[in-house]
Amino acid sequence: MAEVLGVALVGCGTVGTGVARILRDHSDRLAQRGGRAVELRHVVVRDAGKPRDAAVLGALVGTSSEVAIADPAVHVVVELVGGTTVARGVVLAALAAGKHVVTANKALLAAHGPEIFEAARKAERVVCFEAAVAGGVPIIRALAESLAANQVTALQGILNGTSNFILTAMADRGVSYADALGEAQRLGYAEADPTLDVDGSDAAHKLAVLAQIAFGVTPKSGDIEKVGIDRVQATDIRFARELGYTIKLLAEAWTDGPEVALHVAPVLLRHTDMLAQVRGAHNAIQVTGDIVGETLYQGPGAGMMPTASSVVADLLDLAVGRAQRTFAAAKLWSTAPRGFTLTPSEKVRSRFYLRLSVADQPGVLAEVCRMLAEQGISIASVIQHEESATTAHGVPLVIMTHTAETGRFRAAVRHIAGLPSVVEPPVYYSVAG
């Protein structure tokens, strides 16, 4: 059997502990599949005094990533610190020292992908990152390897388990956004500070990583338009249901010839849509390829063991030598042109759900219809319940449009928002399919 593959874990919290457990509990299976033993040699943390799983980590725990990286018996550095500052330093130092890197850090790749991959190519080492998107779901390999004969033409993903948990709880049990978020925090699905999850940032980081593999584009911070779930109201979930739809936070990429639009937003999906049925903290990604058609990947998008499962798969790819071959061919985050350019989401065509709070007086609907018509937008259906009580917030008027260009729809909404009879800011979402 070939030389042992020596591993240093830098960061050993949720995911790192899972990786250490797999390396201990399944060493025979891993040695057989990797063609060589995979051995944990260092565990680097911030606070060596914290209580930890001694049975798993033994005497390996230390606080110096420099010592771990410099050890000649370490061949792979697994970065599981998170964030973009310390993690960037660890990854660049590991590559400079001639070590391969495995990371689960989508924020790092989204912010520093070009620099890190250039450093890896220069050092003739590999960066693996299956766990960075959708935790235990093997979407990176699916895109980079299994669908390699295809050009991806569309990609839609539920990439943030916390948001999906909250929206599922709101839809199933009618709880408010605040109560659903509190429940997600109690159950450990949401961080104490859930901002990056609920404002769409986490999903946007993951979409940036997927877009690099599928289209070779490198969106900068701000290039991916994002709307989170923090303003989704129970009223909209109820109206959507009445119309036959479920609201999901989707990360989407749409191609139009050589252009690709990327965005993250709550979207209305038909109840029968495969993605509409993804519940709780699960992730799912629907990928359309020009040869294969529609494919769907679903599973646990986070959590200790599912995420560790993907990290260890990367270690096995390195042990076998597969990762070294595919990395060289993929040319990720390189300047090699792949033909796609980013286009603003304004150009994407979609149907729309529009909810207005209007004064209960004659002529309002006619005015709204006129403003939509001025932008060439026609209406598919309208809901205005007779029994809706008039309050200071007006009565709800819900409109479903036919397909329209996003920019024109938004222009119409801006005009509609200025009508004196529209008493609250309009709420709108795009409608899939």
Ligand X SMILES: NC(=O)c1ccc[n+]([C@@H]2O[C@H](COP(=O)([O-])OP(=O)(O)OC[C@H]3O[C@@H](n4cnc5c(N)ncnc54)[C@H](OP(=O)(O)O)[C@@H]3O)[C@@H](O)[C@H]2O)c1
**Locus of tokens 């404002």:** 199
Binding of residue 44 to ligand X (CB under 6 A): yes
- Smallest distance, ligand X to C-beta of residue 87, A: 7
- Is residue 131 within the footprint of ligand X (CB under 6 A)? yes
Q: Which of 4, 60, 86, 369 binds ligand X (CB under 6 A)?
A: 86
Question: Do the strands 341-342 and 282-289 form a parallel or antiparallel pair, or are they unpaired?
Answer: unpaired
Q: Do the beta carbons of residue 197 and residue 160 sit within 8 Å?
A: yes
Amino acid at 19: V
Nearer to ligand X, 6 or 11 (CB): 11
**What sign for the dihedral angle of Cα 119, 121, 123, 129?**
positive
* Minimum distance from residue 224 beta carbon to ligand X (Å): 17
What are the residues whose beta carbons fall under 8 Å from the beta carbon of 413, sequence distance 6 or more?
354, 426, 428
Collapse the DSSP code of 398 into the 3-class scheme (helix H, G, I; strand E, B; otherwise coil) and give the result. strand
Per-residue x/- track, 101-130, ligand X (CB under 6 A)? ---xx-------------------------
Locate 394 and state its tokens: 């007006």
Nearest to 104 by CA among 134, 130, 132, 85: 132
Active site residue 206: yes
The residues facing 225 across adjacent strands are 263
How far is Cα 416 from Cα 375, in angstroms, rounded to an integer?
12
Binding mask 7-26 for ligand X (x = CB under 6 A): ---xxxxxxx----------
Interface residue with ligand X among 29, 50, 370, 402 (CB under 6 A) is 50
Spell 254-291 as b/e; 16+ CB within 10 A means b.
bbeeebbbbbbbbbbbeeebebbebbebbbbbbbbbee
Neighbouring-strand partners of residue 398: 355, 383
**CB of 257: closest distance to ligand X in angstroms?**
34
Q: Which CB sits closer to ligand X, 251 or 372?
A: 251
Total binding residues toward ligand X, as defined by CB under 6 A: 23
Minimal distance, residue 302 CB to ligand X, in Å = 3
CB of 64 to ligand X, least distance (A): 9
**CB-nearer residue toward ligand X: 47 or 193:** 47
Q: Pick the catalytic residue: 206, 220, 226, 331?
A: 206
Supply the residues annotated as catalytic: 206
- Site for ligand X, rule CB under 6 A: 10-16, 44-47, 50, 80-82, 86, 104-105, 131, 135, 302-303, 307
